[in-house]
Amino acid sequence: LLTNLGWATVPIVALSAFTMLGVLHIAKEIENPFGFDYNDLPLDDFCKVIGQELNDMTAYNPPKVEDWLPYIQHYKHQEEEEKEKERGTAAAATSASASSSSLNEKVSLRDEKRNNDDG
């Protein structure tokens, strides 16, 4: 390096040494972030925020499955209609006021067809 750069080697080595010493000092400062120094992480605040979030999430009871069944059946019905349209064998679109018993029959027929196709 000295033969190639001559006197420019001195400032280059000084700059690289200064950079390495700076990195070493930074590493020493952040090697233990869990203390009570000014530059340490505020773990007490983090724990308070996490506790508040957990309280918010568990404040209400989850909805019952029975409350979601009409929505699930509605989407299953929509999937069935889309598949019939893709096959080109759909007669007329069924009205949105179809009874839930006929919808359940259609869903069970579809599931039986899937099971027979898989078996």
Query: Is the predicted pLDDT of residue 3 greater than 70, yes or no?
Result: yes
**25-39 residues labelled b (16+ CB within 10 A) or e (exposed):** eeeeeeeeeeeeeee
Do residues 75 and 34 both lie within one domain? Answer: no
Do residues 69 and 50 both lie within one domain? Answer: no
Which region holds residue 6: left if phi is over 0, alpha if psi is between -120 and 50, else beta?
Answer: left
Average pLDDT of the segment spanning 29-47: 85
pLDDT at site 101: 59
Identify the domain boundary among 40, 58, 76. 58
Residue 67: band (very low, low, confident or very high) from pLDDT cuts 50, 70, 90: confident
Question: What pLDDT, in 10s, does the model give residues 42-51?
Answer: 889 999 999 9
Q: How many domains does the chain have?
A: 2
Do residues 50 and 93 both lie within one domain? Answer: no
Do residues 88 and 111 both lie within one domain? Answer: yes
Residue carrying the six token digits 């949105």 = 96
Do residues 83 and 50 both lie within one domain? Answer: no
The whole domain housing 77 covers: 65-118
Query: Is the predicted pLDDT of residue 92 greater than 50, yes or no?
Result: no
Tell me the pLDDT of the chain averaged across its residues. 79
